[in-house]
Amino acid sequence: MIVNILDNMDINQMMLDDEWILFCSLWKAQLGLYCGQEIGNVTSHAPSSVISYPHSSFFVKDLARNGSPPLREDDKDGHYKFELGENLTSRYKIHSKMGEGTFGEVLECWDKERKEMVAIKIIRGIKKYHEAAMIEVEVLQQLGRHDIGGNRCVQIRNWFDYRNHVCIVFEKLGPNLYDFLRKNNYRSFPIDLVHEIGRQLLECVAFMHDLHLIHTDLKPENILLFSSEYIKVPNYKGSSRSLKEASYYKRISKSSAIKVIDFGSTTYDKQGQTYTVSTQHYRAPEVILGYKNKNSYEYPCWN
């Protein structure tokens, strides 16, 4: 009820001092008000934004005790500052940091409603990344409507805007192919596993192309194994058992299932490319040479 009063009150009739405005903003933050929707559950949330003001410690101290983290300024690159164990809205609790990239950071969080671990992608508080994140949300929702079994692309659980950061909630998956290789001392995958990963990847690309969508940034970092579980087997190409244990054994993933992630650069085939697509190391020759090619379905195939 108090939220409705704060939203509907005629601000011109109120005392417009910093403390009152700050109180209104922090009250909304404490209640976890944000804009987004629960995918599949279609739970709408009232839009709100949290404004950062100086000298806010008087209010922050009391609110933090009730579960809302204190307001902090983003770092110099626009990344959201957090501490492990804090709440990200009233629903999610930060457990660990899973990774980071140009877009922002990915946190492992406990979903208090679903009673499960999820991965939350927190976008940097910069306009161009915010816009790319909203494109990704739109693409993910479209993919989810057509990928009924959820077997090709990562599944979006929810999304919301929190303190000027778009947050996208995903199912929690295993490591990406690059990290798995790196932790395995860059030993190659078994050929049968390579065939299976390749088959699934082609199915995913074909699925997206049927929807007139082009990923534009396929790479090992954007292909996740479904599970983190693995077994250790002797590395028969190693010279002897006297070498370090890590050198003698290599890891084999228990699961061959993969899912593609990171749809922030996805475009529609009729949209055309007005900018350079894909990561430099995986960039197609026609992109490097600047050729104008209306049909850009070749990009993912080159990647």
32-50 as b/e: b if 16+ CB within 10 A: bbbebbbbeeeeebeebeb
Place of tokens 């599949």: 40
Q: pLDDT, tens digit, for every residue of 234-243?
A: 876 655 554 5
Pick the last residue of a domain from 171, 190, 209: 171
CA distance 59 to 198: 54
- Given a cut of 90, is residue 172 above it in pLDDT? yes
Distances (CA, A) of 181 to 126, 131, 245: 32, 32, 17
Q: Which of 167, 157, 172, 174 is nearest to 82 (CA)?
A: 167
Domain count, the chain: 2
254 and 114 housed in the same domain: no
Residue 140, pLDDT > 70, answer yes
The predicted model gives 243-264 an average pLDDT of: 84
Same-domain status, 165 and 189: no
Task: Please check the confidence at residue 143 and state whether its pLDDT lies above 90.
Answer: yes
Active-site amino acid positions = 217
179/299: higher pLDDT: 179
Q: Out of 11-15, 78-82, 243-247, give the one with best mean pLDDT.
A: 78-82
Residue that the structure tokens 């001392």 belong to: 185
The owner of tokens 């993933």 is 253
* Segments in 103-190 forming alpha helices (H): 127-146, 177-183
Q: What is the pLDDT of residue 245?
A: 57
Query: From the CB of residue 70, how many other CB atoms can be counted at a distance below 10 Å?
Result: 16
pLDDT of residue 38: 52
Question: What is the enclosing helix (H) or strand (E) of 131?
Answer: helix 127-146
Same domain, 153 and 37: yes
Task: Kindly report, residue by residue over 16-56, the tens digit of the pLDDT.
Answer: 443 343 344 334 333 333 445 454 433 333 333 333 333 33
Domain that holds residue 146: 2-171
pTM for this model (two decimals) = 0.71
Tell me the two tokens of residue 301: 């195939």
Q: Which of 155, 171, 187 is the last residue of a domain?
A: 171
What is the SS3 assignment for 128? helix
Same domain for 254 and 200?
yes
Residues 136 and 121: their CA atoms lie apart, in Å, by 11
Of the candidates 191, 194, 185, 190, which has an alpha carbon nearest to the alpha carbon of residue 223?
194
74 shares its domain with 165: yes
Q: Tell whether 222 and 181 lie within a shared domain.
A: yes
Q: Are residues 122 and 156 in the same domain?
A: yes
3 vs 274, which has greater pLDDT? 274
CATH number of the domain residue 25 falls in: 3.30.200.20
User: Is residue 110 domain-shared with residue 187, that is, in the same domain?
Assistant: no
Q: Are 219 and 189 in contact (CB under 8 A)?
A: no
The reported pLDDT for the residue numbered 84 is: 95
Distance CA 120, CA 110 (A): 10
Q: Are residues 150 and 19 in the same domain?
A: yes
State phi, psi for 157 to the nearest 5 degrees.
Answer: -95, -40
Question: Which amino acid appears at position 52 of this protein?
Answer: S
Question: Which DSSP category does 75 fall into?
Answer: -
pLDDT tier at 152, thresholds 50, 70, 90: confident
Confidence label for 138 from pLDDT (cuts 50, 70 and 90)? very high
Tell whether 48 and 145 lie within a shared domain. Answer: yes
User: Across all residues in the chain, what is the average pLDDT?
Assistant: 76
Tell me the average pLDDT across 131-152: 91
Which of these three, 135, 151, 171, is where a domain ends?
Answer: 171
If one counts every other C-beta atom within 10 angstroms of the C-beta of residue 142, the result is 15
CATH number for position 242: 1.10.510.10
Q: Are residues 9 and 133 in the same domain?
A: yes
Do 195 and 253 reside in the same domain of the chain? yes
What is the distance between the alpha carbons of residues 170 and 140, in angstroms, rounded to a whole number? 10
Among the residue ranges 4-18, 144-158, 252-266, 282-296, the one predicted with the least confidence is 4-18
